[in-house]
Each structure stands twice: as C-alpha cells, then as structure tokens.
Amino acid sequence: MSIADRISTIELKDLLLSLAALVIAFSVLINGRKIPDLEMILIITVGVGTGFLLHEMAHKFMALHFGYFAEYRANPMGLLFAVVASFAGFIFAAPGAVMISKPAATQAFYMQDPFSQEELRREIKKETLWISLAGPITNIVLTAFFFIALMLAPPGSTAAMAANFALFINLTLAAFNLIPIGPLDGKKIFDSNRTVWLLVGLPTILIALPIYFGIL
C-alpha cells in the first residue's frame, strides 16, 4: 500500500484546510494588510508545509507502523483563532492533531490476565515514546536540512529566504512541541522516558530560544 493510499479523502481535506489557514495567518502576520506576492506565498508555504505537514505525517506513519488507526483531523476553531490572532500581530496555532487509537481486538487480547495487562502498558509506553518523538525529530532533521540549504543558497535569493523561514519554523515547532507540559509531545516523551527528553528536548529548546528572540 502506497503512502497516498494511507491518506483518506477526509484527512487530505483537513490537511489542506489547515495548511491554507496557516499560510494565510503567516501572510497576514508578515505583510500586514498588504496582499502578499507569489514569492512570499511560496516562502511561507515551504516553511509551513514542511514544518506542519511533515510533523503530523511523521506522527501518523509512526503510529501506523505500530498498528494503530491514525488520521489527522483539523481543529476549525484553532485555525480560525490563528487567522484572527495574526491580525493582532501574533500567531498561536492549534491547527489540529493526528487522532490515534489502538485496535479493540488487540486491547481485548491483552486484557485476559494481569500479566498481559502489564505487558500492554509497557508496550503502549514504548510506542507512545516513538510516536511522540516522530514529529519533533522530523522538525529537527528539517532544521538541519534548511540550515545547509541556507548556507549554500545565494544571499538574498528566494531560495535563501525560503530556507531561512523554514529553518525558523521547523526549529520553533520542534522546541515548542518538546516543552513537557499539557498535551504537547514533550510531556508524553518526558513521561515515557526522561533520559530521552533530556537528550532531545532540552538541547532543542535551549538552541531555539536565542534564535526565537532574535539574539542569534
């Protein structure tokens, strides 16, 4: 089964809706009330598309690897708030998330006795760690890719601007999602394996902070 076959029509619609809303939000934030030109739309789409779409698809396909049902669902109110907030000069986006569930037959099999239940808990903990890591790790890899692209691109070119924006978006998304609070990936990683969070989450957040605040 190809990757395309694993994405339903509803999921594709929600992904495109989320991408469009985020591109609009960032366009408003960057350009104000001016209509962005094609170059700016392209730059924003590259950054948001890689940072958001590949992050969510990494979660999805890692979950599918472990036998879960996994599909992205948009959050209409979160998307609307992102667009409205952009007119106020900031972005806070909760575009949606990959909905994950374990097949009922698998759970029923493990619920037969206490030893099986404990095995199920250990298995879910391990799988949760990898599924949660998949998104931020994808952003970290993309950050490294766009850093190299930025170094190779001619200064001031469209390619350089796209790489610079995509680097910023991917690093920011990785760091934000690795914060160990609430429903974020970082909380699930921290709860599953604190050593992994210290090795991946903490350095990413510390690297992102000076870049986010314009110190570097």
- Expressed as residue numbers, the domain containing 69 is 4-212
Burial 61-81 (b: 16+ CB within 10 A, else e): bbbbebebebbbebbeebbeb
d(CA 27, CA 153): 23
pLDDT in tens, 70-103: 999 999 999 999 999 888 888 877 889 999 887 6
Contact in structure between 14 and 75 (CB atoms under 8 Å):
no
Among the listed residues 58, 79, 73, 65, the one whose alpha carbon sits nearest the alpha carbon of residue 15: 73
- pTM, rounded to two decimals: 0.87
Q: How many structural domains comprise the chain?
A: 1
Res 160 pLDDT > 80? yes
Among the listed residues 169, 140, 211, 176, the one whose alpha carbon sits nearest the alpha carbon of residue 45: 169
The mean predicted confidence, pLDDT, of the chain is 88
Show which residues are catalytic. Answer: 56
